[in-house]
Amino acid sequence: MIVYPIIFIIGFIGNLLSSLIFSTTELSQTSCGVYFLLLAIYDSIALLGGLHHCLTLGYHVSVPNAIYCRARNFLLYISMDMTSWMIVAISVDRYFKVKFPIKAQIHATQKLAIIISCIITFVFIIKNFHLATVFIGDFIDDAADNCDPNPDYPKYVAFFKNIWPWIDLTTYALLPIVIVTLCNAFIIHDRYKRHVKLRKRNLDHSLIRFLLISSISLMICNFPMSITIVIFPYVSTSDTKNNYYDEVRFIFDLLRLPSYASFAFNFYLYYYSSSLFRQQLMLLFKRLCRIQIKFNHISIRRMETDRIRCPKQLNLREELEGK
């Protein structure tokens, strides 16, 4: 009731600023800029999907609508998958630029980043398509959540509870964590080797801090909830849905919050760990201020022009408004 709305508001503001930075500043000209922009967009969609848990668990508002449940589950799972794999794409892109700097200048382009993003999106649309079908929607009287699997399809219910969590765990958490950790470990090792070889006084702490934060936040925020979803069907001893849901609700609530926080705080992690990001943010604010000042000057000029052309009408209008 209290924590998620705070996460949602802070996250939506941060993701909006990230979208502006990675679409209007110099950062938009890089291949990583495409991934960061999509990351901000999918983070926002995931936060919107998380409002369901805020309403159902925090405020006990039921939404018995099949279309809503299918659209919400489909978009939420896709956006969560995409957030993980955009971080993977960013890590691989950086690895490629460090390992093959000359080839990266030729091949690591915006066009390639867009193609890769489209391929990843298509893969996860196929993976999560079943969530947008009639298999989703539980509207019986004792349903714990109306957006659970449809009990009219017992085979799908068994698949959703026993097999689907493992698929989701692998694609959403395990593979991304392994790939991101390996890429970041190589980059940090390469930077350290160059630091020793060239005898530089200072190591690039900004980049290393950013890479470590991205890896650690991915593991801490997303892995626990994925593991919990997998093991709950095996540890539950409840006989009815409501009893089962009541037993796991508290742990789920605790593990959902850091997961949703990972969608909300990326902007602030960028600001903390990257001096280049801070610089571009300041330039964005200055540009917005200049636009506002220019707009005010144009408005003043129009008013002065109207006053010169039609003084009688303006005086009459001012008198009427004053009255």
At 136 the three-state DSSP class reads: strand
What are the φ/ψ torsions at residue 159 (nearest 5 degrees)?
-60, -45
Question: Mean pLDDT of all residues in the chain?
Answer: 81
Give the residue with greater pLDDT, 120 vs 323: 120
At 2 the three-state DSSP class reads: coil
pLDDT given for residue 64 in this prediction: 77
pLDDT given for residue 190 in this prediction: 81
Rg (CA), the chain: 25
Owning domain of residue 158: 2-282
Residue 273: give its domain's CATH number. 1.20.1070.10
How many domains does the chain divide into? 1
Query: Are 146 and 67 contacting, i.e. CB atoms less than 8 angstroms apart?
Result: no
Ordered alpha helix ranges (H), the chain: 3-24, 31-53, 66-99, 101-107, 110-128, 154-162, 164-169, 175-198, 205-235, 241-264, 266-273, 275-309, 311-322
Round to whole Å and give the CA distance between 210 and 183. Answer: 13
Q: Distance of CA 26 to CAs 48, 251, 276, 277, Å?
A: 29, 43, 10, 10
Q: pTM above 0.85? A: no
Q: Pick from 268, 269, 260: which is nearest to 80 by CA?
A: 260
Single-letter amino acid, residue 59: Y
**Structural domain includes residue 269:** yes
Query: Are 117 and 80 contacting, i.e. CB atoms less than 8 angstroms apart?
Result: no
**Structural domain includes residue 19:** yes
Confidence of residue 205 (pLDDT cuts 50, 70, 90): low
**Structural domain includes residue 198:** yes
Confidence of residue 240 (pLDDT cuts 50, 70, 90): very low
Average pLDDT on 210-232 reads: 75
Round to whole Å and give the CA distance between 288 and 25. Answer: 12
pLDDT given for residue 7 in this prediction: 92
CB neighbours of residue 40 within 10 Å: 26
**Structural domain includes residue 290:** no
What are the φ/ψ torsions at residue 146 (nearest 5 degrees)?
-65, -20
Round to whole Å and give the CA distance between 237 and 145. Answer: 18
**DSSP secondary structure string for all residues of 49-75:** HHHHHIIIIIS------HHHHHHHHHH
CB-neighbour burial class of residue 67 (10 A; exposed 0-12, middle 13-18, buried 19+): exposed
Q: Which of 91-105, 282-296, 298-312 has the lowest mean pLDDT?
A: 298-312
**Structural domain includes residue 40:** yes
Read off the pLDDT of residues 120-141 as tens digits, 9 standing for 90 and up: 999 999 999 999 999 999 888 7
**Structural domain includes residue 14:** yes
Read off the pLDDT of residues 292-312 as tens digits, 9 standing for 90 and up: 676 666 666 666 665 555 555
Query: Tokens for 229?
Result: 């979803």
What letters, b where the CB count within 10 A reaches 16 and e where it falls short, cover 125-137?
eebbebbbeebbb
Round to whole Å and give the CA distance between 247 and 191. Answer: 48
Question: Looking at residue 172, what DSSP letter applies?
Answer: I
Q: Which of 32-41, 59-68, 163-172 has the lowest mean pLDDT?
A: 59-68
Read off the pLDDT of residues 3-57 as tens digits, 9 standing for 90 and up: 899 999 999 999 998 998 888 888 888 888 899 999 999 999 999 988 888 888 7
pLDDT given for residue 200 in this prediction: 57
Q: Which of 150-154, 209-213, 279-283 has the lowest mean pLDDT?
A: 209-213
What letters, b where the CB count within 10 A reaches 16 and e where it falls short, cover 183-200?
bbeebbeebeeeeeeeee
Give the residue with greater pLDDT, 106 vs 77: 77
pLDDT given for residue 316 in this prediction: 46
Q: What percent of the chain has a predicted confidence (pLDDT) above 70?
A: 80
**Structural domain includes residue 246:** yes
**Structural domain includes residue 294:** no
